[in-house]
Amino acid sequence: HEYRSVLPLLRQMEAVAEEVLGGGKGIAEGGAGGGEWKLGAEVKLDYKSLDIPVDEHSVQDAEALRVLMSDGTSVKVYYRLNGRRLDIRMSTMLPTKTPSGFPSVTGLAAMYHETSLWETWHPTVVGKGPTELQKRRPCHNLWHIVTKLFLHKYAEMLEERVYYMPSCGVYMMTMDGKAADSEMWAQHPPQSGTKILPGSNHTKFVHITQEHTSVLGLMTTTVAAQALPEFIVKFIVSWMIPEVIRRMVRAGAETLKSGGPHWQAMQADEEGVYARCKELQTRAPEADKARGGTIFAPSKMPTPDVVKGRGGNLLVFEQAFGANAVSWLQVDPGERLLEASAQAAASGDDVDVAACWDEAEPPLPIELD
């Protein structure tokens, strides 16, 4: 049943929000992910050189402009090492509006979705980008990616999932690397001349589009086959990650220019990815108003509640009804939920059941494919 199949994905989605925005425990592989965060690098952002207008015309709110200029001019890279696990965390801020008419989140979405153009921003990718192992989809993809590190070519298998939540302005993505002992490698063997990466990489980010500015929280986890030596950690933290950031920022800026490498694909929008990005911008004012006008920034990132508190949260509905949830959904939702709300009020339950079902906006923030 569709309802039951989506619940694990929603739990995974909320776990990612907890990890990226709340300092959660993270994946269990390779240790608990504990330890103190250390500043590894800081990458300056020069909006002028990137042709990104940052003034009272592009950011039409004085307070948002002030916050952007004081807190959005660099990306600080933090890391923590625990045995064979390396966690890297960063956050940044950008103006939402761009001269292209697309919101800034579109650049991020395009860089990952247009797999044949990864070479424009990824410093170690071999060829143009990932090989797609299944038909391209807007919210779920499986890729092979070959990278070159220290004269060796390594193959990774990455599973990508994307979540859109227009009502709260959230765009989320996860890329989970498959370990060398995964059964999926038998079905999708690596390319000739490459070795399966002896470890796995996991990337997850949460992007919140607001009316005037947007913030991005990102966390990557590398689980190596053995404890990481200091020179490898230094290479990743002080060179590779800053270089990826610089290339992504430049590529993102180019993406949003008419005639840029991604422009034709964005205009065609065959999978509807970029229309979803525009919807995030369209609905940002109402989401901002619901949050009391708070302006998020790297020094004031949102909590996981920005995701977990979304309207139409099926996990809240599931918590309220448990094994009876499916039977409740199989009848008229309006009548049932009015009755459920009355029951909840009578029992003193603080769960607002009526908020769990919005017929105007189905409460599935992902696509089932």
| pLDDT number for residue 22 | 87
Cα 205 to Cα 88, 208, 216, distances in angstroms:
12, 10, 7
The whole-model pTM stands at 0.84
* First-to-final CA distance of the chain: 13
| pLDDT number for residue 48 | 87
Are the beta carbons of 103 and 112 closer than 8 angstroms?
no
| pLDDT number for residue 330 | 64
Helix (H) / strand (E) containing 82:
strand 74-82
Strand, coil or helix: 170: strand
| pLDDT number for residue 40 | 93
| pLDDT number for residue 232 | 86
**Separation CA 304–CA 248 (nearest Å):** 25
What is the CA 65 to chain-centroid distance, rounded? 24
| pLDDT number for residue 170 | 95
Are the beta carbons of 96 and 256 closer than 8 angstroms?
no
Cα 195 to Cα 7, 118, 202, distances in angstroms:
35, 20, 18
Partners of 215 in beta bridges:
93, 208
**Separation CA 41–CA 240 (nearest Å):** 11
Cα 243 to Cα 16, 240, 253, distances in angstroms:
25, 5, 15
* Per-residue tens of pLDDT for the chain, all 369 residues: 567 778 888 899 999 999 999 864 433 333 344 578 999 999 999 988 888 889 888 898 999 999 999 999 999 999 999 989 999 999 999 999 998 899 999 999 999 999 999 998 888 899 999 999 999 999 999 999 999 987 889 999 999 999 999 999 999 999 999 999 999 999 999 999 999 999 999 999 999 999 999 999 999 999 998 898 888 898 889 988 998 899 888 888 888 888 888 999 999 999 999 999 999 999 999 999 999 999 999 999 999 999 998 877 888 878 877 777 776 666 555 555 545 545 544 544 443 433 444 333 444 444 333
| pLDDT number for residue 228 | 86
What is the CA 266 to chain-centroid distance, rounded? 19
Return the axis-axis angle of helices 314-321 and 333-347, rounded to nearest 10°: 60
Query: Which residue reads 């200091």 in tokens?
Result: 230
Strands (E), 45-169: 74-82, 85-95, 131-132, 140-149, 152-165
Query: What sign results for the dihedral spanned by CA atoms 139, 142, 207, 258?
Result: negative
Q: What are phi and psi of 189, to 5 degrees?
A: -65, 155
